[in-house]
Structure 1
């Protein structure tokens, strides 16, 4: 008997095999859970349906992947359609994973002070408000003791150069997690988030994560980066009954990077190299 045997839920945000949402979904399904999936809508003229194909190649391998439908999180009507499908295919649900974020390249690759008004509204709508919209739409479907989990990042807590406007969106998402945890507590539904360190995902490539990977390895107490498996295990934990007393939390899975108040061991290495240079 697996940790998720008899549990059913909705996974929102799988883009490809490197998506954190897919790692968490795999863990859930391997533990006996049944999942419904969404994918980014394809353009009407895209006969190849690239977005759907990327996800279906993954979900087709699992019998407990029950459906795959397009979802535009900016459309309340589309969200309602997805929830109808979830109810039809799964009945009541025990978990909802929100792993959605977006900003235009033009707005995220400029300093935050230069982002456009329209770009800001678009990023906030997709990256933050969608958490509220999805949780509210799923509210009638939740079983007693259900769990919601979002994906966030440390750039919502502290200024991380290069993360720019998305950091503002993640700050909003972090606050939404806390407020929803109170609202949904009335229904005995928990709401939490995972704050993962840098991984090689599609989202990370948009903000240039390579330098961050090196930085985390140098600064974090564990002296290394985290793995997809570690994030997947943590996400599955928060969505499981093992975390039944946890809500409103931002769980950092970053090797301890977030606790550091100085560059740690990297500072010592810097001083050593500086002395070598000055001694020449």
Structure 2
């Protein structure tokens, strides 16, 4: 058998949009670094002017071509972002959705007690925005592409203090499967990446998250915690032609913790 001379994860010439960089320690930053290392051309978003100061050092260090503000709760902002993608690039090859939000009072309380408004907001930002992005990306992926979102195993089993985000992430994973089925005939693949616990700013909103990190590192089969580079390596592979026959998956990158009860 003749082995290919080109690298397996090759994103040279591919155009990717990264949504969800909060700072250098965020999962989206780890994915952006892996995309860049594989040769992709990248754009990224920042939540607002306050967040931009934390995002700019990351985007500049990675040579990201351009950035734009994005708060999916703001009417018209997501549509404007994709109009910019079309104007600047004329198309899109892959997209990472790495945003989630729930009001603190709903996130830190029981699911039983969550408010209708808090539940709706969590679903809108964390799940429905992925559907909106898929719809806007579809016409820009005329030659196929890859859509990826970020989930967590609290979607399928009860994780103490994960609370409202458990049902929300379950909905996100189901959404990824349905999008994969609907967009597959157009060559658009869809995945949900499921990292183990990682110390990010988003995770800081969860009660006693440090304990969860410690348990994950101590109990996982490889006795190590995962980091954003591990997630990035998987994300880059999924966006590459090497993964062209893989779609509709929820893929754990959690040092094997998902196999434990």
The two structures have a TM-score, normalised by structure 2, of 0.93
Structure 2 residue 34 is matched with structure 1 residue 27: yes
Is 1:95–1:239's contact at 8 Å kept on the other side of the alignment?
yes
Structure 2 residue 166 is matched with structure 1 residue 167: yes
Structure 2 residue 11 is matched with structure 1 residue 11: no
Residue 199 of structure 2 corresponds to: 200
Residue 183 of structure 1 corresponds to: 182
Matches of residues 83-94 of structure 1 in structure 2 within 5 Å? 83-94=82-93
Displacement of 1:145 in angstroms is 3.0
Structure with larger Rg: 1
- Deviations, residues 117-147 of structure 1 (Å, cap 9, x unaligned): 1111110100010010011011111142310
Deviates more, 1:16-25 or 1:75-84: 75-84
Structure 2 residue 76 is matched with structure 1 residue 77: yes
Q: Partners in 2 of 1:33 and 1:93 — Cα distance?
A: 11
Q: Partners in 1 of 2:176 and 2:193 — Cα distance?
A: 11
Residue 265 of structure 1 corresponds to: none
Displacement of 1:75 in angstroms is 4.1
Residue 142 of structure 1 corresponds to: 141
Structure 2 residue 61 is matched with structure 1 residue 61: yes
Displacement of 1:76 in angstroms is 5.3
SS of the residue aligned with 2:71?
A: coil
Displacement of 1:186 in angstroms is 2.0
Deviates more, 1:197-206 or 1:75-84: 75-84
Residue 269 of structure 1 corresponds to: none
Residue 155 of structure 2 corresponds to: 156
Residue 3 of structure 2 corresponds to: none
Q: Partners in 2 of 1:22 and 1:205 — Cα distance?
A: 17
Q: Partners in 1 of 2:242 and 2:83 — Cα distance?
A: 28
SS of the residue aligned with 1:186?
A: helix
SS of the residue aligned with 2:65?
A: strand
Is 2:29–2:228's contact at 8 Å kept on the other side of the alignment?
no
Structure 1's consecutive aligned runs of 4 or more residues displaced over 6 angstroms after TM superposition are: none
SS of the residue aligned with 2:143?
A: strand
Aligned alpha-carbon RMSD (Å): 1.4
SS of the residue aligned with 2:93?
A: strand
Displacement of 1:227 in angstroms is 2.2
Displacement of 1:239 in angstroms is 1.4
Displacement of 1:104 in angstroms is 1.1
Is 1:76–1:133's contact at 8 Å kept on the other side of the alignment?
no
Displacement of 1:55 in angstroms is 1.1
- Deviations, residues 37-84 of structure 1 (Å, cap 9, x unaligned): 11113xxxxxxx321221112212343x12111112134521111001
The two structures have a TM-score, normalised by structure 1, of 0.87
Task: Point out where structure 1 has 5 or more consecutive residues left out of the alignment.
Answer: 42-48, 262-280
Q: Partners in 2 of 1:153 and 1:139 — Cα distance?
A: 25
Task: Point out where structure 2 has 5 or more consecutive residues left out of the alignment.
Answer: 1-5
Q: Partners in 2 of 1:204 and 1:132 — Cα distance?
A: 23
